[in-house]
Structures are given as structure tokens and as C-alpha cells.
Structure 1
Amino acid sequence: MHHNSPDAKTNAATALAAFLFLAALAWVSIALVEPPRAVPEGAPASEFSSARALRHVRAIAQKPHPTGSEEIERVRRYILGELAALGVVAEVQAVEVVPRQASAGWPVLAARVQNIVARVPGTAGGRALMLAAHYDSVPTGPGASDDGAGVATLLETLRALKSGPPLKNDLILVFTDAEELGLVGARGFADEHPWMRDVGLVLNFEARGAGGPSLMFETSEGNGTLIRGLAAAAPHAVANSLMYAVYKRLPNDTDMTVFKRASAAGLNFAYADRITSYHTALDSADELDERSLQHHGLYALALARRFGDLDLGNLKSRDAVYFNALGPVFVHYSESWVVPLTLLVCLLFAGVVLAGLKRRRLSLGGMAAGVVAFSFAACLAVLVTTGVWRVARGLHAGYTLLPWQTPYDIWPYVLGFIFLTVAVFAAVHAFLFRKTSAANLSAGALLCWLALLILTTALLPLGSFLFAWPLLFALACFAFLLTSGEGSFESAKGLTLAALAAAPGVVICAPLVWMFFFMLGLDLGGFFMLLVVLLCGLLVPHFRALTARRRWLVPAAAALAGLCFVAAGLARASFDARHRKTDSVFYLLDADAVRARFVSTDAAPDEWTSQFVPAGAGKESLAAVFPWMPQQARGAEAPAAALPAPDVQVLEDRAEGDARTLRLRLASARRAPMLLFYVEPGADVRRASLDGRALLDEASRATGDSKNGLRVSFAAPPPEGLELLLETRADAPVRLVVEDLSYGLPEVPGQTFRLRPDDAMPAPSYRTSDTTVVRRTLDLSPPGRHP
């Protein structure tokens, strides 16, 4: 066919129309997994109303309320009052939780927690259904989404359930304390409360942003029954088993982690769009997307009614593969189908290739070129988009000050990355179109799809759907075109059929690309473009038709569009009261030397932090204050505030043989909400306990990690203090560092500081943003062994 023939123009127009159709389909696929509309306060009593739930969020998220603070006491009273108003008797489970130090890296994260627990009796007994959320926040944000929305979901769900007939199963509600400190409240409930033994299923509600669909992102093992129940009951389920398969391999935890370890079945829900609000001052009720709260509630109420009336004694069955197809269409099937489906696709691929070779429509050399082209385009797309993002981030100095280093508006960058990926794919294949056929290049791309399918079937079977179904449709179309005569791949009819065959891939992949970006940010955006490359691999004939007349027009136009979108992202990047930059500063008082410092973890001062730590301030390691934090900081001398040091009393000091026992009482004289202490390396700690609870496990003693010291962070310590027992080698030197930490900067004698401007907020951190640390060091070594 001549490149300037009418057919070539028709084919190019058809290919362009196909791209526009698939782009529109991608937009529709994403729009269909958006959260449902908000429901007003006047909704029937039996329904979940986000407007009613939002009243709870506003009451809870007035200020930051971390564990041990005065504000969390107000929040606790509010929750207890709302439960009482609903006619439910609740109790506060006050318990000290002291996990054991398994290694000398991260400290033991302990606390005196106050979980709120309530139980609504069912009509038939049996295993109980538990709804869970945590009611503490981080100190740097008011916690409207994380996790005021979860608390509000439980309260509004309980109200809706109370308006109808009782459930057969008991309903347990658990509002955990100290989740943000390391799941401490959940540990206290799971390990100490007798109700945990009755739990058959847990529904846990979380957030990692301020909007977006509520994703069912984690389940317990053997989730087939749970997924069938989710599909049957939830009216707007958004979930996929790839997310679950990947999540369980990551070091991320929520309270559900603890409940699963206690052998409970569970479903975990969270929304994660607008991550810039996560753990910051922007996590407010005004910033919360009410639709996300409604999505939480739809899950909670529907699943409570379904599982509240089912036998929860044995929910385990084979894991399921599941995903959304066009939004509310929720596809699910047993994991046992994965291998047969993969074998079917492999057989179909082999048949297609053999038929193509026999008809001389395919060649092994041409297919090999297709594999190389596809693989090279994939690698180059990752490198180009990652490089462009790094350049863009370097051009805007403020991007280092963004919460989670994620722009507030990521869409210009996402679109820019997609166009750049299309440009790379088009350029690589335009070079080869004159050397081999579109059919060969298509077959090579599909072979790469097949390799990924086989790999995921072997290593990540729950994620195999991502490759199996798009490939199945693409191969069916490929087989038809192979048998339709010469030129069928590049005809208008062939291009139309190929676009329709690519539609399932777009429907499955487009929402995933969107979710990956809003959950994980732009730093990994280059890798997410691999999904775009995969989709391009289904459209090789279309690239051939578009580049037939002017080979480099499409790559150049796509690259220009991509760079324009990136430039638009840069142009829109500015800070104001709703789009704030982050900064950090904390105050450290050495009570022994009566010397103080302001310390900042920022790379450079801004107009507010410069009054504490000016430009040119020396660098220092945070490990001197928090031994498990080796990063660099900058510090400057500050006047010493009149703050009392932590109180340390030696209650007992005795030696017996080669062992020495020290019994100490540690307390915060200023009633700070956090007490930290470290036994420095060299003490050879053999045994340690806090208020009678062991701090070292067998593994730590067996591997000798205890010789590297002991590190403990305790939140909400009792006013009378904590009793620490140490058993060391009799002649070992013992140095103990004790710190107490409070939220907010102190009044410094003789100095007045400007307020933080409206376009800035504290960086997300429990210890290094707007905190005050008072430190003292004690040498408790035996006589003659002072270091």
C-alpha cells in the first residue's frame, strides 16, 4: 500500500479514532470507581448518611489528639457519650502494652492505652462480628480522615443497625488507642481482652489521604468466602487481588495486622487519594471528601448486615482472584482457575503463532524484533519519565518541602508521563516498521504479555488477572486477523477490531494506573508507565497506521504534549493556605548541662524556621537524640527553658555472682505524654522488664543483640512513673539516657518568635516537628567501671 494512498489516510484516521475511543474508555473506567455520592442528613434512619457521620468527624477532629494528650481525653469522652446516646454500654480497656525488643534497631513502642470497646448482643450467639477503627491521631494533624472518618463510620453504622432488627451475631465495636504509635492499642485488645476470642470477622476502617474511593485493600488468608460476601453485599465494591497480593509483601501495617495475627478473618478498607493531607494539618473535616466517608459507610453497613447474620465459625476457603471491570462490575473467581486459565492462554498463543508461521504471516526473526522493541520501549519509558520527574522536581525547590514530596495536583504529571511513554513507544516502533511487519511486532509484544502472565501465575497468582484477560481478548482478535488475508492488520476493519480487543486491557489497567499514582506518588511513576507500555503493545497496528505517512510526527507530537503537561504541573505548583509546604523544628534541652538547642530536619531553613535554626547552622546526627534515627539535621544554640528533667530513682541495686540487678523508677516530672529511655551499648543487658513485662525476647538474647543496648518509647506514662528492671553483667558499664517529649515548642526566656505562616505546616513526625524534648543522662556503672 502506498503511504499517501486514500487507504493509508483512512487507516490513520481509524487509528486516531481508536486512540480517542480508548482514552475515553480509560476516563470512564476511572470515573466509575470514584466514590458514591454523599447522602444528606434527612436520609431514612436505616441508611448510612455521610452528612450525619460528618458531624462526628467535626467533633472529633477539632485538634490533633495523639495518645497521652489532653485532647484525646476529650475525644474519648465524646465517643463514650455517643455510644451511650445510642443505648450501648461501653467500657474503657486501660492496659499497659509492652512489646518485646526483637533487635536493637527500632525501639520498643509501648504505651498505656485506653481502648473503647462496646458489645451489642445478637439473637443467636456464635462468633462475633467486630468493627474497628482507631481514635488517636498524629500530633501534626487533627486526624479527620485518619481516623476520625473510621470512628464516625462505626458510630453512624451502629445507629443505622439499631434502627432495624437485631443481628444474629454479637456486634463488637473497638475504637483503638495508639495505632499511630505502632498498633499498640490493637495489641492490647488482641492480647488482653477476652472478647477477642469470640471474634469471627473484623472490618477495619482506615485512611491514607483525604479522598478517593474506599478500597478494600487487604483481606485475611483464605478469602474466597469473604470476597463472595463482599461481591454480594457491597453496592460499590472497589478492590483487586493484585493490590492485596502486593500489600501483604510490603512492610506496611494497620490494626488489621494485629487482628489477623490473632487468627481473626478480616477485610481492611481505606481511601488514599490526596495523600498530601495524610498526617498533616490538612487532614481536617473541611478537606475530607464526604463521598469517601459515604463509601466507608456503605461497606460497613452492608457487610455488617450480611455477615452479622451468617455463621462466622469457619470463613476460610481458597483465596479468590478479584478485580473491577467498568466500575461496579466486580469480577471474582477462585484461585484454582488461575493455572487452567494460563494454560488456555498459552495454548491459544501457541496456536496463533503456529498458524501465523504456517501462513507466512509471522517469522521468528520478526517476532524476536518485536520482543526486543517492546522490552526496549518499556525500559526507555521508565528511564525517560523518571528522569523528567527528577528534573521537574529539581527545577522547583519547593517540591522538597511538599508533604510526602508529592505535588498537590499530580494529574498534569500523570498525563505528561503517559504522553511521553506513548512517544517513546511510537519512536521505537517507527524505526522498525520499515524492517518488519506490524503482525510480527504485535506477536512479539504479546509474547512479552505471555511471559508476564506465566511469571505472575508462578509468583503472584492473585495478580494474574492483569495479564490473563487482556491477553485472551487480544489473542482472539490476533487469530481472526491472521486468518483474514494480507493487510488485515492495517485495514480500517482490523484496526477497529484490535481497538475493541484492547478495551478489556484498558478497563482493567486504567484504574490501576490511577490508584497506583494516588497511593504511591510520582517517585514511582516511571514504573507505573509499564502498564501504559503494555497497553501500547496491544495497539502496534495503530502505531503503524499513524506513522505510515509521517514517521516521526506522532512521537514528536506526543513528546511535546508530554513536556507541556509537565510544564503545566510546574506552573501550577505554588503554596497557599490549602496547599502548604512543610517544615520542622524541635527544642532539645540537656538538663545535665543546662544547655538547649533548636534542631531542624529540613535541608534548608525557610522564613519561619530560620528564626530558630538560621542558614549556615552546623549539621548534626539525630541519632544523638533518637538513636534509631541516623539522618542528618541542623541545630543552633537556644536559651535554656525552665523545664524539669525526667525523674529517675534507683529502687534497688544489687550484685549476685556475675550478675547485677538494677531496679529503677522513671517518670516525667512535667507530665509529658511520651517517655523515652535508652540503655547505651556495652551494658550487656541479659534481662529487662518494664512494670513486670519482659522487654527482651529469646531471639534478642540468643543473638547477642541485647549487648547493643535497649531502646524504649512509652506513650501516656502513668503519673507515678514506670518501673524498669535491668539485669546486666556485674562489671558492665551502664549508661542510661532518659528523655521526655511533649507536643509544642516551649516559651523561651527573653525571646519571642513569629507564628508559622498560613502556607506552611509541621512536617509529619511524632518526634521532630513542634516538640520539646528534655534529656538527662545517668552513669549507673559499678564502681571503677565508668566509661
Structure 2
Amino acid sequence: MLPNTQAPAAKTRAAALAALLFLIIVAYLSVSLVAPPPAVPDNAPPNEFSSGRASKQLREIARQPHPTGSAENERVRLYLLAELRSLGLEPEVQTAEVVPRQRGVAGIPSAAGRVTNVMARLPGTANSRALMLVAHYDSVPTGPGATDDGAGVVTLLETLRALKTGAPLRNDLILLFTDGEELGLIGARAFAGQHPWMKDVGLALNFEGRGAGGPSLMFETSEGNRLLIRELAGAAPHVVANSLMYAVYKRLPNDTDMTVFKEAGAAGLNFAYTDRITSYHTQLDNVEELDERSLQHHGSYALSLARRFGQLDLRETKGGGADAVYFNLLGALFVNYSEAWAVPLAAATTVLFACLLILGLKRRALSVGGMAVGFLSFFVASVVAWAVVRGAWLVARGLLAGGYESLPSRTPYDLLPFEVGLLLLAFAVAAAAYAFMFRGTGASNLLAGALLWWLLLLLLTTALLPLGSYVFAWPLLSALPGMAVLVRRGEARAAAASPLTLLFVTLCAVPGVLLFAPLLYLLFMMLGMELAGFFMLLAVLLSGLVVPHLRVLTVERRWLLPAALALAGVCFLFAGVSNSGFDAHRRKINSIFYVLDADAGRARWVSMDARADEWTSQFIREGASRESVAHIFPWSRQHGWQSEAPAAALPAPGIEVLEDRADGGVRFVRLRLSSTRRAPSMLFFTEPETDVRRAFVNGKLVLESNNRTPTASGDATPPNAPPTVPPGLRVSYAAPPPEGIELLLEIRDTSPLRLVLEDISYELPEVPGQTFSPRPSHMMPAPSFRSSDTTIVRRKFELDARAESTLAGF
């Protein structure tokens, strides 16, 4: 009888398959552990934070949208004042005007306005510096703001209630409820720049929401955070955070109220939950859609950290300038250490890797050519995987039901089938690369080539992004023993790898899976699907840790594993597309707003949607044209469907000339701008032919152009540089007072003045002679302050060289 030479290979393939299934289970468990804590009912002990109690308050706050300047905003403010008084505090109200300088060639208007902050102070027994808890109580006009940021508001209220049941804190506790955050952090700027309490703040904890569930992430902190992170790890019971998020976030153009307080010199920790981002700034941001566990997670941070930091000396919160590296393992384990260890860790890993390479070359288990093939194979797999994943997502997105392009982050409601489908396609490409392209290269060379990419990324992040270097350091360091076993055995052919060898390599890959699987989950949760191709590069990188397994499984029937993975991926994508319809919990988004030219007595319906649907078609009639909306929003390069509409009897905004004089080649024009119909927002801008040198709103400098366009950094572009948008003044003003605001323009005396004033209200008008059906329950307004369910009344003011004013239509 001939010996059964295939038996060992069969056992090895079975071991490789079992090992990959084990790693999939590890990945699933690591992701499932990144979850908020259970909700706590309203009958919990009084010294505990209860999401059940907080939810009752949230229902009062998030009844309706309550943007700055609205009647609902005032109702919420009065509710907050009453709640704070009921808890024994004497709340204060800060009403202030903020007029930031206009910056940036992108043309976004300066976000100015009048806001009303609510604050209260709980005195400590021996205050060092104050601990401040922050949330904003305004919402966008298109959503009731249960998550953004009603959950943060009730977190502060319930935390205060629980604190009042125990011993007093050493430090003063400030509770700040800001107004106007959604408009551009106006309330935070008012407090930081104008209120005397700001100088007392040693540490700020800000609570935000950008979704409807998921764990509350500590996604941002301040420089020199080593001591803060150490205390966070010791005090909070369910920390979910990693320093890579912070390192990336501070390089992005994103802002919350925390941005302002950090600029003012305070240390801080910023918290938000971001799952189901499709509810962000929409009608689905309501109490019914909110996962109460996420609110409980907010509360677990707020109460535990208030008790911890409330007793510490907050005069030294920046740890001597040292930052921390931190991340979760298996959910509950929160690892943190000084950033100073990043370089030694990278150096030690590099030395160990180099020793293994030298040993492998000496034992002829490795070769320069073989490692080069492994290095190249990984590069090819990564590039092809990115292209395949990006293409598959574009195809799937094109097949989705119309209306998804307007959802936040252009992300489907049900992300899971798309995430899994694209992940399987990425792994299919990696398996195919090792199966078809480099069959003659052994497992040790392929693994060494793949790990060289890990080493390269470790060195790059250590140099450029040290707070994120742990992502590559620990998986690579833990993978080296597995590579050492392959090198020691001198296994040049993947088929010769024993089951025990594969088992050991599998165990060495576990730390990489424990770090990368939750990271991919959080990235998808925070950023949606538009960066799926980039995310899948991380997945391909992870496949480099199991190169021996892929090689074993593709030695025979090399097409089987890639084909099975690709087929499964396509099936998941098909399931996601098939389930992409709309209902009351997954609503279609559409846009319609009304623009009245008060000068010409003409009006238009405008929609920013790609096409009219069964509801917006009653406004956007057949024969409508798709035109630029730059005459309405001068910074916009978008086009919208525009259809003639009857002119409603709405009063025009007021423009009154208070002063017009010339001096030294400069013309000074002082105007009073007002909303006759008491709209909650005004937008005013000059047209390109107006050469504005300086502009002041209520005496505050808003623009100083020097005949040049200022950049985001405060520098300026040369006069002959092509601007990306027309130059000039652009200001959005929230909650204008009944008497209006004063605008002083300094323009070149030979320049005409062309000023457009628009007032904006957050509802559609009653139009004479027309009745419209209400929006169906499976639809909702697109998230926008100006271009969804709004009424805009505009007029143009012109002043020529003879100081004669006229009004002209568009």
C-alpha cells in the first residue's frame, strides 16, 4: 500500500481554516465588547446616575427643534433655569453678542449673533480651580436634538442631582449650557471671551452627540494630557478611547465647544457617541430613536469624573507637557502609558525584527528576493483591494434607493451588510494575491515581506503621529515570535507548515486582531462609508499577519478561498442594497425651500436634491431648471432645481442708511439692518464689485481685507490670485434684536456698494392660491440651516458714487 502523502496537508489545511475561524471569533468578540453599559432605571439609588431619570427630562427638552432665536429655544432655556433652581442652585443667564472675524477663501460666512447661555455654580469646600461640565442646549432647525445635544444637557442635570446627594466637592463645579453651538460655537465664544468665570476653569468636560447610539467615546483631550488620562483610567468605569482618534481629530477641521475652551487655556476631555450617524441633524434625532445605554455611558463619565476631579488640585492638569498613548483591549482593559515610550518601543521592535531577518538569511529560511516578492505582493494586494472595495461601494451606492446622497456622511441606515461585504471583498483580494501571483514563494518570506510594511508604518507613525504608533507597534511586536518559529524551522514552503506552527502564528496574530477589529468598527461608526476604501487597507494590513494560513489554504484549489470570500461579499452587498428602502424609522431625505425677492415681487421654490421625488414634485414642477444657488448663498458652488412660485405677502428685511460720508479716498457707509418679520436669522453679503476695506457689526471688526482675501490662517492671498469664491463681506447673524444691527462699511470711494440682505425663518410659507400635501411619514427634511424647509426673503441695496440708493431684484 502506498503511503497517504496527502493526509498531513489535509490536516494542515484544516488547522489553517480553524485558525482563521478562531480569529474571526476573536474579532467579533473584541467588537462586541466596545459597547455602552446597560441603562439604569429611574428607581436606581439617588447617588447613582440613572438614564431612566435623565430620559424623562430629555423628553421635555427634545419635544421640537429649538434653534437659537426660536420660541422653542426660549422654552428649553426656561426649563433649564427651573430645573437648576429645583436642585438648589442660583442659575445665571449670559446674553451676549459675538462677532468673529471673517476668515477663509472658502467663503463661509462669519457666524455672528446674539446668544443666551445658562450657567450655575456649585461652590466647593477648598477650591483650587473650577471643574466645568458643558453641553449646548440649542438644536438645528431640522431635528429635535435629542442626541445633539439634549443628551448632554440632561447628563449635566442628572449628574448634578446625584452629586447633591453626597459629600460636597473640594473644587467649584460650573455647569454651562451654551447656546448657538450649531451656528459656530457662538455661546462658547461668548462665555470664554466675555464671562469672568472662564478664568477660574481648570478643566472642562464637554458632552456631545453625533448619532443615535453606540459607546460614548472620549475622542478629544488637550495637550499634556498624561495626568488626565491616568485619572480617567482610574475613575471612569467604562472608558472607550484611543489616542489615534485624538491624534487624527486635532488635525481635522472639526470643532466643538471644547475647541474654544482649549484655545482659552483650559484642559479638557470631550465625549460623544456616533453610531447610527444617519440620525445626525435630522428628525430622527429624537428620544424614541436614542439608545438609552449611550446616555447612561455619558452619565457614567460625568458623575465618576466629577467626583474624581472635583477632589483633585486642578492647578496642574497638563502633566508637565507629556501626552499619553492609550487604547482599549477586550473592551474593559484600558491601556495607557507616556508618549515618551513610543520611540523606545519602535526602536526595540526594529532591532528584534532586524535580528530575525539576519537569522533567517543565515539559515536560508529567508532570501532577499523572496522577501521582496512578499513585500511587493502585499503592496499589490493593498492597491487592488482599495480599487475593488471603492468600485464595489460606488456600484452599491448607485443601486441604493434615491435620497441616500443627502444623508449624513452619505451612509446607509443599515451599515452592517455593507461593512461585512466590503471586508470580505478585501480579504478575497488578499487571498487571491497569494494564491495566483506568488505561488513559488515560501510562507516565511511572504510573512517577512508583509511585516516589513508593518515596520515601515510603525516608523512613519512614530515620527509623524506618535500617539497613533501603538496601532502598528504592538501587533508587529507580537507577530515576531510567530515569524521566529517559521525562521527557526526553516520552512520555505507554505504547504510544509505544521498545524502546531500555524497555531502558534495564530496566537501571535491575536493582539493585532484585538486592536484592529474595534478600530475598524469605530472608524466606520464615526466616518461612515465614504472612506471605505481606506479602511479596507487596514483590513488587508491585518491579513498580512496570517499569510501562512492563506498560503496553506491556496496551495491546492487556489481559486476556492478567494472565490468563496468574493461570493460571500457580493451576497452581503446585495442584501444591503435590497434592504435599503425607506420607512418611518429609515426616512428618505429631501430638500425644499422658498426664496422671495422682495424687490422684484418674484419667488421661487428651490430644491438641492438630485431629482424631484413624489413629494417635492408638487413644488418643483415640470420644466424647472437646475441653476446655481450662488446668488442666494454666495459661497456655494452647488446647483438646485428652481421653479417659479407665487409671491407670498411677506415683509422685506429693513435697510436704513444712518451715515454716508467720504474721507481720504474711503467711503464710510453705516446701515441699520433688521428683520421686519422677526426671523431668527439674517444673512448679508456684498457682491464682488464692492471693494470692502473694513467692516464692523455693532462696532466689532468683522472684516479687514486690505484689498486681499484673507486665508484660514489669517494670511492673505495676493490681489491677482484667483479666489475660489467672490471676495467681499459675508456674515450670518443669529437671533437679531427687533431694532436690528448696525453695519459700518469702509469701501473705496470709487467702488459701488452692492449689498444683499436675507432674513431666514425655519418653516415654509403659506402661499396664496396653493395648497400642498404634508411630507409623508417616510420622509424628512434634509439637515440644513438654510436650504431645507426654510423661507428666505431677500433684498438688494445699491449705492452709487452720487450717494443715491436704489433697490433692485435678482
TM-score in same-fold range (> 0.5): yes
Aligned counterparts of 2:741 and 2:640: Cα–Cα separation in 1: 31
The yes-or-no answer on 1:381 pairing with 2:393 is no
8 Å contact kept, 2:427–2:565: yes
- Name the residue aligned to 1:559: 566
Counterpart of 1:630 in 2: which secondary structure? coil
Output one character per residue of 1:174-220: Cα deviation in whole Å (capped at 9) or x when no partner: 10000000111110000000100000000000011000000000011
The yes-or-no answer on 1:358 pairing with 2:377 is no
Pairing partner for 2:264 from 250, 258, 262:
262
Aligned counterparts of 2:480 and 2:357: Cα–Cα separation in 1: 10
Aligned counterparts of 2:594 and 2:304: Cα–Cα separation in 1: 49
Post-superposition offset of 1:654? 1.6
Output one character per residue of 1:662-699: Cα deviation in whole Å (capped at 9) or x when no partner: 11111100000001111222332222211111112478
Q: Identify if the C-alpha distance between structure 1 residues 589 and 26 changes in structure 2 by more than 3 Å, giving closer, same or farther.
A: same
Comparing 693-702 and 488-497, the one that deviates more: 693-702
Comparing 657-666 and 170-179, the one that deviates more: 657-666
Post-superposition offset of 1:477? 2.1
8 Å contact kept, 2:364–2:490: no
Post-superposition offset of 1:656? 2.3
Post-superposition offset of 1:752? 0.1
Comparing 32-41 and 726-735, the one that deviates more: 726-735
Aligned counterparts of 1:524 and 1:102: Cα–Cα separation in 2: 28
Counterpart of 1:687 in 2: which secondary structure? strand
- Name the residue aligned to 1:754: 773
Counterpart of 1:576 in 2: which secondary structure? coil
Post-superposition offset of 1:577? 0.5
Pairing partner for 1:335 from 334, 339, 348:
339
Counterpart of 2:703 in 1: which secondary structure? coil
- Name the residue aligned to 2:23: 22
Q: Identify if the C-alpha distance between structure 1 residues 319 and 604 changes in structure 2 by more than 3 Å, giving closer, same or farther.
A: same
Aligned counterparts of 2:482 and 2:423: Cα–Cα separation in 1: 25
8 Å contact kept, 2:693–2:704: no
Aligned counterparts of 1:166 and 1:213: Cα–Cα separation in 2: 30
Post-superposition offset of 1:433? 4.9
- Name the residue aligned to 1:411: 416
8 Å contact kept, 1:102–1:697: no
Aligned counterparts of 2:368 and 2:621: Cα–Cα separation in 1: 66
- Name the residue aligned to 1:503: 510
Counterpart of 1:539 in 2: which secondary structure? helix
- Name the residue aligned to 1:179: 181
Post-superposition offset of 1:403? 4.3
- Name the residue aligned to 2:729: 710
8 Å contact kept, 1:137–1:146: yes
Question: What are the within-5 Å matches in structure 2 for residues 58-457 of structure 1?
Answer: 58-103=59-104, 105-317=107-319, 318-398=322-402, 399-457=404-462
Counterpart of 2:44 in 1: which secondary structure? coil
Aligned counterparts of 1:485 and 1:683: Cα–Cα separation in 2: 77
8 Å contact kept, 2:366–2:487: no
Post-superposition offset of 1:727? 1.7
Q: Which amino acid aligns with 1:357?
A: L
Q: Please, what is the CA RMSD of the aligned residues?
A: 1.8
8 Å contact kept, 1:403–1:763: no
% identical aligned pairs: 63
8 Å contact kept, 2:653–2:673: yes
Post-superposition offset of 1:630? 1.7
- Name the residue aligned to 1:37: 38
8 Å contact kept, 2:119–2:174: yes
Q: Identify if the C-alpha distance between structure 1 residues 592 and 785 changes in structure 2 by more than 3 Å, giving closer, same or farther.
A: closer
Q: Which amino acid aligns with 1:564?
A: C
8 Å contact kept, 1:381–1:424: yes
8 Å contact kept, 1:585–1:599: yes
Q: Identify if the C-alpha distance between structure 1 residues 291 and 430 changes in structure 2 by more than 3 Å, giving closer, same or farther.
A: same
Q: Which amino acid aligns with 1:535?
A: L
Aligned counterparts of 1:27 and 1:160: Cα–Cα separation in 2: 36
Question: What are the within-5 Å matches in structure 2 for residues 576-595 of structure 1?
Answer: 576-595=583-602
8 Å contact kept, 2:653–2:674: yes
Post-superposition offset of 1:102? 2.5
8 Å contact kept, 1:733–1:785: no
Aligned counterparts of 1:103 and 1:431: Cα–Cα separation in 2: 51
Output one character per residue of 1:272-317: Cα deviation in whole Å (capped at 9) or x when no partner: 0000000000000000000000000000111111111111112112
8 Å contact kept, 1:11–1:490: yes
Q: Which amino acid aligns with 2:58?
A: V
- Name the residue aligned to 2:693: 686
- Name the residue aligned to 1:612: 619
8 Å contact kept, 2:694–2:705: no
Q: Which amino acid aligns with 2:448?
A: A
Q: Which amino acid aligns with 1:7?
A: P
The yes-or-no answer on 1:779 pairing with 2:798 is yes
Q: Which amino acid aligns with 2:399?
A: L
Q: Identify if the C-alpha distance between structure 1 residues 615 and 217 changes in structure 2 by more than 3 Å, giving closer, same or farther.
A: farther
Aligned counterparts of 1:229 and 1:202: Cα–Cα separation in 2: 14
Pairing partner for 1:535 from 529, 539, 542:
542
Post-superposition offset of 1:397? 4.2
- Name the residue aligned to 2:551: 544
Comparing 102-111 and 191-200, the one that deviates more: 102-111
Aligned counterparts of 1:115 and 1:185: Cα–Cα separation in 2: 6
Comparing 646-655 and 289-298, the one that deviates more: 646-655
- Name the residue aligned to 1:628: 635
Task: Give unpaired runs (5+ residues) of structure 2.
Answer: none
8 Å contact kept, 1:685–1:727: yes
Equivalent pairs, count: 787
Post-superposition offset of 1:29? 0.6
Q: Which amino acid aligns with 1:394?
A: G
Q: Identify if the C-alpha distance between structure 1 residues 35 and 348 changes in structure 2 by more than 3 Å, giving closer, same or farther.
A: same
8 Å contact kept, 1:3–1:548: no
Post-superposition offset of 1:222? 0.9
Post-superposition offset of 1:38? 0.3
Aligned counterparts of 1:600 and 1:182: Cα–Cα separation in 2: 24
Output one character per residue of 1:620-644: Cα deviation in whole Å (capped at 9) or x when no partner: 1111101011211110000000000
Output one character per residue of 1:223-246: Cα deviation in whole Å (capped at 9) or x when no partner: 111110111101110000001000
8 Å contact kept, 1:433–1:544: no
Q: Identify if the C-alpha distance between structure 1 residues 56 and 697 changes in structure 2 by more than 3 Å, giving closer, same or farther.
A: farther
8 Å contact kept, 2:67–2:138: yes
Post-superposition offset of 1:67? 0.5
Q: Identify if the C-alpha distance between structure 1 residues 768 and 4 changes in structure 2 by more than 3 Å, giving closer, same or farther.
A: farther
- Name the residue aligned to 2:475: 470
8 Å contact kept, 1:61–1:142: yes
Q: Which amino acid aligns with 1:113?
A: V
Counterpart of 2:673 in 1: which secondary structure? strand
Aligned counterparts of 2:684 and 2:204: Cα–Cα separation in 1: 35
